[in-house]
Structures are given as C-alpha cells and as structure tokens.
C-alpha cells in the first residue's frame, strides 16, 4: 500500500526549497526489501549510476530501471539524476524512497534472478567499475589518526605507553586536503608511481561520504549528515621535498597530491545498511598476498563523529564531499617486509584494500618510465638524485 501524507508533501516542499530534485515523492513509510550499494559503472564505455544488489553480483542501471518503473501508472514520474553525485544530493530529501520503490519492484517481480535479466540489469563481471563519485568537491584526510600508526615500529610496551600519553592529551584532529580529479581512480585502475619516485606507500582508509550540507556540525548529530561509506586508499610519496629553496616541514603537495593517489570505491554503502562504523569497522591491506595492515575502529585516536565536528568547524561540508578517517600501523618504519625485500611499493605489485561489509579495491602498481625531454629543471626530481641518507 502506497500512502502520500501531509508530512510527505511537506518534505517535497522542503526539498524544492533546498534545491533537491523538484518532483521527488517522499514516502517515509516505505522500506527497502533488501539492501543495496551505489556506484558508477560503464558498459561499452557508456557510464551510468547503478545499484549493487544480490551480494554484489548484479548492477542495476538506476535511470533505466526508473524509466521502466514509470511505465506503470501507479508510479508518478520522478526525475532520477544520471550520476551518483546527483543521487546523493537528493537522497535525504525524498529521492531514496523512489530508489526503495525500484528495489522493491525488482525484488517482488523476480527480475533479480534467473538468466533472462532485463537489459538494465548487468552482472558485475560484465561492467567496468569506476570511482563512485566523479568527482568530490573535496577530499579531507585525517593524518596519524590511529594509535598504531602514531607509533610505527614500536614494541608492544612502547605502543601501550605512547597510547596512554596520547589518550590523556589527544588535542584536535589533523586534517589535510587531497586533490580529486586526476587523483581519484576506481577499482582496477593502475596506481602510477611518478617518474623516479621510489618511496611510495599504501594506506587503507574508510571514506565517509556526506549527504547533507553543514557547518559547525556537532559530534552528536554528525551521522545525520552522512550518506554512506566506501573504501579508500591514501597513496603517499615519502621521498620528500629536495633540499634548497623554501622549506617548512612536510610538503603535503608532494606527499599526497600525485595522480592516481586517491583510489575510491568500489561502491558506496548507504548508512542505513552499514550501521555504526565505530562498532563495525575492520580494514585490511594486502600487497602481493601479504597482509601488511589490519585494524579496527577501536584503534582510532579521534572517532568519526569527532572528525566530522572538527572538519565542519573549518569548512562547509557539501553532499558528495569525502572525509577519510586515517590509517593504521603497517606503513612507515613499521612496514611488513614482503618477498620483494622492499618496504615500499614496487613496479608490478598488486595492492588490495578491504573493509568488511563494504568491499575491496584492487590495483596494480605501475612505474612511470618517461617524462618529456624539454623540462627546465623546476620539476620534482627523482628521489635518487637528492636522497640524503
């Protein structure tokens, strides 16, 4: 039974005033028949936004599914955005109820099973998985936000003492910005080691995707502004800035800003299907079959609501913005030795980052082998030319 209430209509008016899709029919009494994830995909190079269903085995083209749904007279037209960012912007202003209607219709009509799937449903093996949001307006990263990362290479006794000291004086989080377009890549794309830069590291992180705008968001209402969660990697260049010229501490542009250094995906889990990440988070990094990082949320110095409160005290958060919650031990001086004998990533290795309940990102590491021959010398030089060890 479908009901349109005065409350529903009020939500439509609010959505229109806030710039959300104008023809959203809000129906707070509808629940989804089964969970889903949201992502960006392509078939024959044609990109579309999709729902990930049935244990990540099927991808539903949401725009085409919505058109098919609207052929039935009981479903009024709703403007369905053709990208994930548009879906996120309208989701909490009523658009999610149309998504729920699509999910329920597909489940109840049996269209998610069998061999004769509708043309707008694809098997995951037949699609190209792209970065879910193309592209966030900003990526905010928490630096040194896990106790084990703050004490890389420590003994158990040193870690306990350092953790105790930090717990007594946590201060506020440390955040930095990372570029989006160019840095953001999707599952399966290569991570490129910049020419001559041979101290490249991995960092698995949970990425929080915002669904509502906000400034000065208190920690106790932080999750009201969250759309969902995805896996991220903060690939880092530890080679540093060459000597000479202006120098003032760590160069974050060099360390974090290279192309392909922000893998995202493989899709986003809406918050209603994930639960409290501070109770559930379990993240792992594997390089060529060797587990190099593993952590749970309890290792975080500042929890996710605190990170959101701090970030929003500095800058307005918008739908589609991303906040990465930091990484755990297993990098830096605490890195796990692999068969290559190198602590850093090397050409040809495969790196996988997983978060339980979300999914896995897998990337091949590829060394950039050539640069233009007419550079002036002002470019970032290869690490080996100025390494001072």
pLDDT band for position 11 (cuts 50, 70, 90):
very low
Residue 99 has pLDDT above 50, yes or no: yes
Q: What is the pLDDT of residue 333?
A: 54
Residue 337 has pLDDT above 90, yes or no: no
**pLDDT one-digit tens code per residue, 117-173:** 999 999 999 999 999 999 999 999 999 887 777 677 777 777 777 777 777 788 899
User: Cβ(141)–Cβ(205) under 8 Å?
Assistant: yes
What average pLDDT score do residues 354-369 get? 97
What average pLDDT score do residues 110-123 get? 93
The half-sphere exposure of 116 on its side-chain side, counting CA atoms within 13 A, is 1
Predicted structure pTM score: 0.90
Parse the chain into domains and list their residue ranges.
Answer: 6-130, 139-385
pLDDT band for position 88 (cuts 50, 70, 90):
very high
The class that CATH gives domain 139-385 is: alpha beta
pLDDT top residue among 339 and 348:
348
Residue 152: partners with Cβ closer than 8 Å, 6 or more residues away: 329, 330, 331, 332, 333, 334, 335
Mapping DSSP to helix (H, G, I), strand (E, B) and coil, where does residue 65 land?
A: helix
Residue 155: partners with Cβ closer than 8 Å, 6 or more residues away: none
Strands 191-193 and 359-367, sheet pairing: parallel
Q: What is the distance between the alpha carbons of residues 107 and 260, in angstroms, rounded to a whole number?
A: 37
Mapping DSSP to helix (H, G, I), strand (E, B) and coil, where does residue 362 land?
A: strand
User: Cβ(238)–Cβ(335) under 8 Å?
Assistant: no
Q: What is the pLDDT of residue 377?
A: 85
Q: What is the pLDDT of residue 137?
A: 97
Q: For 285, left (φ over 0), alpha (ψ -120 to 50), or beta?
A: beta
Q: What is the distance between the alpha carbons of residues 93 and 85, in angstroms, rounded to a whole number?
A: 14
- CA-closest candidate to residue 276, choices 304, 253, 310: 304
* Arithmetic mean of pLDDT over the chain: 88
What average pLDDT score do residues 355-365 get? 97
User: Cβ(254)–Cβ(241) under 8 Å?
Assistant: yes
* pLDDT over 70 percentage in the chain: 88
135, two tokens:
């592209």
Mapping DSSP to helix (H, G, I), strand (E, B) and coil, where does residue 163 land?
A: helix
* pLDDT over 90 percentage in the chain: 69
**pLDDT one-digit tens code per residue, 294-323:** 888 888 889 999 999 999 999 999 999 999
**pLDDT one-digit tens code per residue, 185-213:** 999 999 999 999 999 999 999 999 999 99
pLDDT band for position 267 (cuts 50, 70, 90):
very high
The count of residues in the chain is 389
**pLDDT one-digit tens code per residue, 13-47:** 444 444 444 445 556 689 999 999 999 999 999 99
End-to-end CA distance of the chain: 71
């Amino acid at each position: 039974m479908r009901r349109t209430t005065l409350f529903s209509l009020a939500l439509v008016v609010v959505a229109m005033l806030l710039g959300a899709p104008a023809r959203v029919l809000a129906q707070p009494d509808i629940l989804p028949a089964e969970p889903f994830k949201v992502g960006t995909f392509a078939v024959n190079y044609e990109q579309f936004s999709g729902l990930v269903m049935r244990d990540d085995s099927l991808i539903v083209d949401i725009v085409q599914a919505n058109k098919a749904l609207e052929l039935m007279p009981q479903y009024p037209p709703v403007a369905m955005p053709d990208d994930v960012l548009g879906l996120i912007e309208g989701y909490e202003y009523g658009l999610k109820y149309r998504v729920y209607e699509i999910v329920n219709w597909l489940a109840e009509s049996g269209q998610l099973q069998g061999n004769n799937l509708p043309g707008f449903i694809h098997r995951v093996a037949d699609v190209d998985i792209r970065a879910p949001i193309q592209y966030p307006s900003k990526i905010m990263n928490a630096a040194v936000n896990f106790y084990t990362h703050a004490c890389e290479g420590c003994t158990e006794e040193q870690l306990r003492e350092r953790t105790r000291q930090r717990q007594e004086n946590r201060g506020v989080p440390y955040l930095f910005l990372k570029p989006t377009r160019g840095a953001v890549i999707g599952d399966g794309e290569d991570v490129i080691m910049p020419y001559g830069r041979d101290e490249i590291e991995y960092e698995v992180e949970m990425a929080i995707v915002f669904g509502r705008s906000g400034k000065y968001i208190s920690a106790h209402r932080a999750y009201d502004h969250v759309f969902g969660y995805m896996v991220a990697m903060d690939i880092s260049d530890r080679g540093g800035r060459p000597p000479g010229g202006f120098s003032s501490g760590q160069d974050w542009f060099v360390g974090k800003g290279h192309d392909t250094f922000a893998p995202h995906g493989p899709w986003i889990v809406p918050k209603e299907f994930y639960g409290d990440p501070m109770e559930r988070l379990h993240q792992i990094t594997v390089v060529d079959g060797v587990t190099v990082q593993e952590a749970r949320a309890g290792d975080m110095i500042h929890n996710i609501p605190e990170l959101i409160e701090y970030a929003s005290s500095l800058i307005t958060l918008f739908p589609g913005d991303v906040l990465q919650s930091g990484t755990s031990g297993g990098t830096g001086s605490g890195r796990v030795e692999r068969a290559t004998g190198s602590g850093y990533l090397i050409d040809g290795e495969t790196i996988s980052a997983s978060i339980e309940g979300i999914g896995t990102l897998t990337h091949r590491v590829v060394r950039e082998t050539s640069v233009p021959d007419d550079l002036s010398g002002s470019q970032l030089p290869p690490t080996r030319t100025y390494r001072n060890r």
